[in-house]
Amino acid sequence: MMERVVHAIQCIGCPIGCGGEVVVENGAVAEMSGFTCNKGLAYAAEEVVAPKRMVTTTVRVSGGGLALLPVVSAAPVPKERIFDCLRLLRGVTVAAPVAEGAVIVSDALGLGVDFRAARDISSLQ
Amino acid sequence: MRELSYDVVTIGGGPAGMAAALAAREAGAERVLIIERDRELGGILQQCIHNGFGLRRFEEELTGPGYAHRYIDMVKATDIDVWLDTTVLAAEPGGVITSVSPHAGLMVVRAKSVVYAMGCRERTRGAIRTPGSRPAGVFTAGAAQRMVNMEGYLPGKEVVIVGSGDIGLIMARRMTFEGAKVKAVFEIMPYSNGLTRNIVQCLEDFDIPLYLGHSVTAIHGKDRVTGITVSQVNDRLEVIDGTAFDVSCDCVLLSVGLIPENEIGRAAGVALDPITSGARVDQFRQTSIPGFFAAGNVLHVHDLVDWVSEEAAIAGRSAARHARGELPASGPERSVAAGEGLRTVVPQRLSALEPGKMSVRFYFRAAKPMGASVLQFWADGVLAFERKLRVVKPSEMIVADIPVRKIGDAATLEFRVVPAPEKTEAEDAIEEEA
Whether residues A60 and A113 share a domain: the answer is yes
Q: Name the minimum distance, in Å, from the CA of B372 to any CA of chain A.
A: 13
Query: Domain range holding A10?
Result: 4-49
Of A13, A53, A56, which has the smallest distance from its Cβ to B63's Cβ?
A56
- What residue spans define the domains of chain B? 2-121+259-327, 124-256, 350-429
A125: in domain: no
Name the residue in chain B with its Cα closest to that of A8: B200
CATH number of residue A36's parent domain: 2.20.25
Whether residues A66 and A16 share a domain: the answer is no
CATH superfamily of B124-256: FAD/NAD(P)-binding domain (3.50.50.60)
The number of distinct structural domains making up chain A is 2
The answer to whether the Cβ–Cβ distance between B396 and A66 falls below 8 Å is no
CATH number of residue A67's parent domain: 3.10.530.10
The answer to whether the Cβ–Cβ distance between B65 and A68 falls below 8 Å is no
Whether residues A85 and A43 share a domain: the answer is no
3-class SS string, chain B: CEEEEEEEEEECCCHHHHHHHHHHHHCCCCCEEEECCCCCCCHHHHHCCCEEECCCCCCCCEEHHHHHHHHHHHHHCCCCEEECCCEEEEEECCCEEEEEECCCEEEEEEEEEEEECCCEEECCHHHHCCCECCCECEEEHHHHHHHHHHHCCCCCCEEEEECCCHHHHHHHHHHHHCCCEEEEEEECCCCCCCCHHHHHHHHHHHCCCEEECEEEEEEECCCECCEEEEEEECCCCCECCCCCEEEECCEEEECCCEEECCHHHHHHCCCECCCCCCECCCCCCECCCCCEEECHHHCCCCCCHHHHHHHHHHHHHHHHHHHCCCCCCCCCCEEEEECCCEEEEECCEECCCCCCCCEEEEEEEECCCECCEEEEEEECCEEEEEEEECCECCCCCEEEEEEHHHHCCCCEEEEEEEECCHHHHHHHHHHHHC
Burial of B131 (0-12, 13-18, 19+ CB in 10 A): exposed
What are the residues of chain B with a beta carbon less than 8 Å away from any beta carbon of chain A?
39, 46, 49-52, 55, 61, 63, 65-66, 68-69, 148-152, 177-178, 195-197, 199-201, 205, 303-304, 396, 432
Per-residue pLDDT of chain B (434 residues; tens, 9 = 90+): 566 999 999 999 999 999 999 999 999 999 999 999 999 999 999 999 999 999 989 999 999 999 999 999 999 999 999 999 999 999 998 899 999 999 999 999 999 999 999 999 999 888 888 888 899 999 999 999 999 999 999 999 999 999 998 999 999 999 999 999 999 999 999 998 888 889 999 999 999 999 999 999 999 999 999 999 999 999 999 999 999 999 999 999 999 999 999 999 999 999 999 999 999 999 999 999 999 999 999 999 999 999 999 999 999 999 999 999 998 877 778 999 999 999 999 999 999 888 888 999 999 999 999 989 999 999 999 999 999 998 898 888 999 999 999 998 899 999 999 999 875 444 444 444 33
Handedness of CA B424, B426, B428, B434 (dihedral sign): negative
Of B50, B205, B396, which has the smallest distance from its Cβ to A79's Cβ?
B205
Interface probe for B, chosen from A35, A56, A58, A60 (most Cβ of B below 10 Å), is: A56
A106: in domain: yes
Residue type, B256: V
In residues, how long is chain A?
125
Q: What is the pLDDT of residue B423?
A: 58
Alpha helix (H) residue ranges in A1-125: 38-47, 82-90
Would you say the CATH fold of B350-429 matches that of B124-256? no
Q: What is the pLDDT of residue A53?
A: 95
Whether residues A60 and A28 share a domain: the answer is no
The answer to whether the Cβ–Cβ distance between B69 and A66 falls below 8 Å is no
Residue A17's pLDDT band, with cuts at 50, 70 and 90, is: confident
DSSP state of A17: -
Spatial separation of the C-alpha atoms in residues B198 and B205, rounded to whole Å: 10
Of A15, A82, A118, which has the smallest distance from its Cβ to B66's Cβ?
A118
Chain A residues within an 8 Å CB radius of B171: none
Whether residues A39 and A69 share a domain: the answer is no
Whether residues A41 and A63 share a domain: the answer is no
Q: Return the CATH fold of B350-429.
A: Immunoglobulin-like (2.60.40)
Q: Give residue-wise pLDDT tens across range A36-59.
A: 888 888 888 888 888 999 999 999
pTM of the full predicted structure?
0.92
The answer to whether the Cβ–Cβ distance between A68 and B195 falls below 8 Å is no
Q: What is the pLDDT of residue B307?
A: 95
Burial of B309 (0-12, 13-18, 19+ CB in 10 A): buried
Q: What is the pLDDT of residue B429?
A: 43
Of A12, A34, A82, which has the smallest distance from its Cβ to B200's Cβ?
A12
Please tell me whether the peptide bond between B131 and the residue prior to it is cis, using omega within 30 degrees of 0: no
Q: What is the pLDDT of residue A16?
A: 77
Chain A residues within an 8 Å CB radius of B176: none
A39 touches chain B (CB under 8 A): no
Q: Give residue-wise pLDDT tens across range A58-91.
A: 999 999 989 999 999 999 999 999 999 999 999 9
Class of domain B2-121+259-327: alpha beta
A101: in domain: yes
